Copies of this chain bind each other. A is one copy, B any other.
Amino acid sequence: MKLSRFGHKFGPGAGINSLMEDLGNALAEGGLIMMGGGNPGFVPEVEDALRQRLADIAADPDAFRRLVGIYDPPQGEKRFIRALAGLLREQFGWPIDERYIALTNGSQSAFFTLFNLFGGDCGDGEFRKILLPMAPEYIGYADAGLQDDLFISVPPLITELPDNRFKYHVDFSALPLEKNIGAICVSRPTNPTGNVLTDAEMDHLIELAREQDVPLIVDGAYGLPFPGLIFTPVKEVWDDHLVLCLSLSKFGLPAARTGIVIAHPDVIKAVSAVNAITNLAPGSFGATLATELVESGEILRLSQDVVRPFYQRKAERAAQLMGEALAGLPFALHVPEGAMFLWLWLKDLPISSLELYQQLKEEGVLVVSGHYFFPGLDLPDWKHQHECLRITYSQEDELVSEGITRLASLVRRVYAESGAG
């Protein structure tokens, strides 16, 4: 089988694909303790609300026909978009309307589109990069460029804190603004670290985006205003240089694949156009299921009062268990400020995080090796990249406990065997 360049870049040989297959198959087939994926937990009150809505649709032939039987326009389901624009206008005062929102088949599809709209070959020999102001950053970005070397990133400042904690900050002094930048992108909260960029950091990034006249893409898949997996008091941000990407996945609908792009109408037109050519139209399912929750504002209440506490409790519990299990070892946890991951830094780890991942899989626990989360960084000697693990705590408490126990036991053995522990 002869493949094109695209086929070689995006096909079976692509960097993260074997890992994703691994994770997907493990979760779908069961057996392993899954602390590797981004699958959300199951929040009963949210499940009940959505299931009731589905039952209502199934009982109403007209509603069912609208759910399955009519293609949406490339921009996405109109009633959902109208409701969301209204909610954001009324709740937060953002000056937006229906022209500011497009749907995609999940966030990943939105990022593929956005990165390639703003980055890459621009004609006349000009090549624009996507700047990730702080690595670690989301693994899913790494392979999304149609052209090689689309991303450029810089390491963070690391603040070490008491009780085996640390926090990353953007190193603004190191940003390569002299390069040709097409867009800036951050996830907030950060996948994989659970870091939440401060309001001051966001203001600074928006200022940079304005200065450079490029979009600041904010990946809010776990963030504000929904699903709201942010445990520190920060504010919702809007600016006309922002491209805010939201998702219904972590609210509870990952298999519905509903990504949401909120941006200036020119960006929305471009996203819709890419939707049309690559997908004809995005799916209606997630949007239709959630429309009434958006119209009533209930999606914000559920996010703040139900979904966020669900994950915050899990985060605190997992962090405490991890601290106890690793006591005495040279580890640090990134302050768990959001998302659904612990980011564990094993200082001077005698083996690479990739080897640790593989050994841990043998023990029946799946995590993700941290080295995947440094897209666009060219610092081969920075060993921190090979000393971290991303550990998902969204699944059931007993599984998370057992996974942490097995992980700590392996880590203790690894340090002990090298004489470093």
Residues of A with Cβ closer than 8 Å to B?
Answer: 1-8, 10-14, 16-17, 20-21, 24-25, 27-28, 37-40, 42, 47, 50-51, 54-55, 57-59, 61, 64-74, 78, 105-109, 112, 116-123, 128, 140, 143-144, 146, 182, 214-215, 252-257, 264, 266-267, 269-270, 272-274, 276-286, 289
Contact = CB atoms under 8 A, between A and B. Distances in A.
A280 B65 CA distance: 28
Contacts of A277: 10, 14, 16-17, 108, 112, 143-144
A242 B61 CA distance: 38
Contacts of A27: 70-71
Given A143-B277, A182-B4, A278-B109, A12 B270 contact: yes
A78 B24 CA distance: 11
A272 B106 CA distance: 16
Nearest to A56: B58
A45 to B, nearest CB: 13
25 contacts: A2-B122, A2-B128, A4-B117, A4-B120, A4-B128, A6-B116, A6-B117, A10-B277, A12-B270, A13-B273, A14-B277, A21-B73, A28-B73, A38-B71, A39-B69, A39-B70, A47-B65, A54-B58, A55-B59, A66-B255, A68-B252, A68-B253, A71-B255, A105-B109, A146-B146
Quickly give the copy total for this chain: 2
A388 to B, nearest CB: 22
Contacts of A286: 68
Contacts of A55: 55, 58-59
A6 to B, nearest CB: 4
B281 A283 contact: no
A382 to B, nearest CB: 26
